[in-house]
Structure 1
């Protein structure tokens, strides 16, 4: 195919690493770390570097990456991640809380998240959201042992806003509409930034966290609260 823009889905890229390991074992090569083939890095590079863009066309790839034992330092996923522009990490703990999509904003990343690309406001809001969520994560052990009442007023405020952010990160799916009874919804980036900005600024501290669950825009949250 020439002069075309191609969308490539790979499910699952770990199988490529695994197959290479099996072939390497059959050839009698001495395995490297965790039993993978010694040529893992060069084999992955040879595959990933063919997924590129030129003046005549492009290849955009979405790759499912299996992470053995949830170990992000495992050579197979670690080698894969080094070639990707963005990663979307799914988290079991979010599924257990009923938060969908169960994307972890702390372990997910994007090389595109730069002021030069997304703009200053988008960048600052995104980083501020990550900062609040990280602080909440750091406080969870203290909350589990001593309770939230033992936190300082500032930390209590951080926890409250972090929980609202977690709820606001949920979004009703079109594909799940028949199962949840909630209509799917697309939300503009500008509206998303506006919503998180208002949560971070404290404008919505008076609204309970449950009002943020499975909403599209922040205006829907405010409307439901006023009810």
Structure 2
């Protein structure tokens, strides 16, 4: 796809030369009658050699005969007298279909892998729509990530939206890329759409390297928006990713995992565009519609009754200064179904991934784990480990006051349990894929440190089956 959303018949465009004003990424066109919101536009201006330079835009506002156009490539080097704007008469659309699989594109969907444009007989509007609640099928069945801390304690379910909360300096991008590289849907048709926003070139190369094998196998769509790309493109990237994912899922019957990294970069781009439009700022200068805008992305995931595919969204976001009340994580938490929280303290102990199990939660875990889905012992075992970890942290606080030597033998076991959980279960190599059986066996190994009387949340038959041989 060389130009996302380019109309099939350019002769239907209405060309306007009345560019009145250029401001940042925006231009104002006069005499634009019959133009609608979200309409796709082509912007042309002659360069020094007299050759037309083509850019692309979207209509943000219409007031009588004035139209405000958001130029995806920015308005640098454009002049009001030499610029012409052609309105297509329809919203921005992109080709959809399996032709996207195995491709690496920029944030606008233009190939950067040296291959031909992505072509398809079918196109879809980028804006999309959230799934109709009356057509939704409740999320069920797991997506296994190969990451023990997620698969065992905060299981990701098909059709769920489960964000990763992190802070600057933690390996959240590495974790997101690892999940994208090794996640599976239990042998069913599976694809990953990875939308990267605001990355450095070094991070973009790291993501491409980690995902190279999955891309070569035809299971990946990779959209890369780097920090020096136009800000407007960053607002478009997740919408293109979700549009492609929806078609792969609901037309072609695939289970699709959409990784959006980093949604904080997306929100900052949205704030910049809002400021350029002169809108009234809201909380921390973000636009007042930030909640509904984020919801318009996150709510495009799910399952549709009567169709085999699903769209699962894994947004990654960094919390400025670790503030979970910051607007982006705060509003994301209202919309999504849990969170995986990365901890600077765990990272300081050189544990990867630095997941804090007690701060993390998957509200739909019971819909995607347990008998017939993962393993019979999964849910009880996860509940026992989390309860024991909460007790271990209380014991650690007590030890800081009275000293470790004053603890009882049982309390000492809890401290050993916390250490074992972090080292044997949570910690793993950056290229390691753990099967679910291996992960749950590690859970039993960690639980075996505790006295049997402390395992009150586990049925006796499970303890006899999994622990008696270990003691």
The normalised TM-score by structure 1 is: 0.72
**2:299 equivalent among 49, 52, 60:** 49
Q: Which residue of 2 aligns with 1:68?
A: 320
The structure where strand makes up a greater share of residues is 2
Q: Which residue of 1 aligns with 2:443?
A: 196
Taking the aligned partners of 2:331 and 2:352, their CA distance within structure 1 comes to 28
Tell me the SS of whatever aligns to 1:98.
coil
Structure 1: gaps spanning 5 or more residues: 176-183, 206-217, 223-227
Q: Following TM superposition, by how much is the alpha carbon of 1:201 offset from its aligned partner in structure 2, in angstroms?
A: 4.3
1:26 and 2:271 are equivalent in the alignment: no
- In structure 2, relative to structure 1, the CA distance for the partners of 1:14 and 1:153 (3 Å cut) is same
The C-alpha deviation readout for 1:175-227, integer Å capped at 9, x for no partner, is: 3xxxxxxxx4x43323432332343244799xxxxxxxxxxxx9xxx8xxxxx
1:146 and 2:402 are equivalent in the alignment: yes
Tell me the SS of whatever aligns to 1:105.
coil
- In structure 2, relative to structure 1, the CA distance for the partners of 1:38 and 1:115 (3 Å cut) is closer
Higher radius of gyration, 1 or 2: 2
Structure 2: gaps spanning 5 or more residues: 1-95, 97-246, 453-465
The normalised TM-score by structure 2 is: 0.38
1:164 and 2:416 are equivalent in the alignment: no
Q: Following TM superposition, by how much is the alpha carbon of 1:42 offset from its aligned partner in structure 2, in angstroms?
A: 0.8
**2:385 equivalent among 129, 142, 147:** 129
For the Cα contact (< 8 Å) 1:87–1:108, is it kept in 2?
yes
For the Cα contact (< 8 Å) 1:115–1:122, is it kept in 2?
no
Taking the aligned partners of 2:385 and 2:406, their CA distance within structure 1 comes to 24
- In structure 2, relative to structure 1, the CA distance for the partners of 1:105 and 1:157 (3 Å cut) is same
| Greater displacement, 62-71 / 81-90 | 81-90
For the Cα contact (< 8 Å) 2:262–2:318, is it kept in 1?
yes
Taking the aligned partners of 1:174 and 1:97, their CA distance within structure 2 comes to 16
Q: Following TM superposition, by how much is the alpha carbon of 1:168 offset from its aligned partner in structure 2, in angstroms?
A: 1.2
Taking the aligned partners of 2:342 and 2:320, their CA distance within structure 1 comes to 14
Taking the aligned partners of 2:450 and 2:312, their CA distance within structure 1 comes to 39
Higher relative contact order (CA 8 A, sep 6+): 2
Q: Following TM superposition, by how much is the alpha carbon of 1:41 offset from its aligned partner in structure 2, in angstroms?
A: 0.9
- In structure 2, relative to structure 1, the CA distance for the partners of 1:24 and 1:191 (3 Å cut) is same
Taking the aligned partners of 2:364 and 2:329, their CA distance within structure 1 comes to 20
Q: Following TM superposition, by how much is the alpha carbon of 1:172 offset from its aligned partner in structure 2, in angstroms?
A: 4.0
Tell me the SS of whatever aligns to 2:317.
coil
Q: Which residue of 2 aligns with 1:8?
A: 258
The C-alpha deviation readout for 1:8-61, integer Å capped at 9, x for no partner, is: 222211122222222333344433333322111111111222234332643333
Tell me the SS of whatever aligns to 1:60.
strand
For the Cα contact (< 8 Å) 1:9–1:62, is it kept in 2?
yes
Q: Following TM superposition, by how much is the alpha carbon of 1:100 offset from its aligned partner in structure 2, in angstroms?
A: 2.0
Q: Which residue of 2 aligns with 1:88?
A: 340
Taking the aligned partners of 2:262 and 2:413, their CA distance within structure 1 comes to 41
Tell me the SS of whatever aligns to 2:259.
strand
Taking the aligned partners of 1:203 and 1:81, their CA distance within structure 2 comes to 34
Count residues with an aligned counterpart.
199
**Superposition CA RMSD, Å:** 3.1
Tell me the SS of whatever aligns to 2:325.
coil
- In structure 2, relative to structure 1, the CA distance for the partners of 1:56 and 1:123 (3 Å cut) is closer
